[in-house]
Amino acid sequence: MTITDEINWSPFDFIIMGSLLILLSIGINFASNRAKNLKNRVLYIGILVIIFMLIWAELAVGLFGTPFAGS
pLDDT number for residue 3: 74
At residue 53 the predicted structure's pLDDT band, cuts being 50, 70 and 90, is very high
pTM, to two decimals:
0.81
At residue 2 the predicted structure's pLDDT band, cuts being 50, 70 and 90, is low
Q: How many C-beta atoms surround the C-beta of residue 25 within 10 A?
A: 11
Which one is predicted more confidently, 49 or 2?
A: 49
At residue 1 the predicted structure's pLDDT band, cuts being 50, 70 and 90, is low
